[in-house]
Amino acid sequence: MNHYGKFCIAALAVLLFGCANPVRMDRTAETVRFTRTSSGFEYVVGHDGGYPEDDKDAEKTRRKWMADYVTEVGLCKNGYKITKREVSRGKGMLGDVTGRIWYTGVCN
């Protein structure tokens, strides 16, 4: 195999496997804000066609991202409870439904 062939295989491998953690990339793009409060945290995340606000799988993904943030900042060592969830809705540039979801979490 010549050098060009080896280069093409290496480039293809980078394209296919270069994004080792796509969930974290999505989380970073979708998360608007994570803020500590006196009793826990507030988490604000976007919703759109990729992560609809009323979709069970999308909600599961958002809850996972939230748990990752809580763990990363060392908050709520004994767990937490979501006490409030509010949704805002709007229209995106292409007419799709988009908006934000606010979660309020209280540490146990």
Q: How confident is the model at residue 11 (pLDDT cuts 50, 70, 90)?
A: low
Q: When comparing pLDDT for 76 and 26, which is higher?
A: 76
Judge whether 62 lies within some domain. yes
> Structurally, how many domains does the chain consist of?
1
User: Quick check: is 43 in a domain?
Assistant: yes
Q: What pLDDT shows up at residue 107?
A: 96
Within-domain flag for 67:
yes
Please give the average per-residue pLDDT across 82-103, as a whole number: 82
Please check whether residue 48 lies inside any domain of the structure: yes
Q: Is residue 65 part of a domain?
A: yes
Distances (CA, A) of 17 to 6, 14, 27, 100: 16, 5, 19, 31
Residue 102: pLDDT band with limits 50, 70, 90 = very high
Domain of 25 in residue numbering reads as 21-107
Is 64 within the bounds of a domain?
Answer: yes
**Banded pLDDT at 13 (limits 50, 70, 90):** very low
Is 82:37 a contact under the CB 8 Å cutoff? no
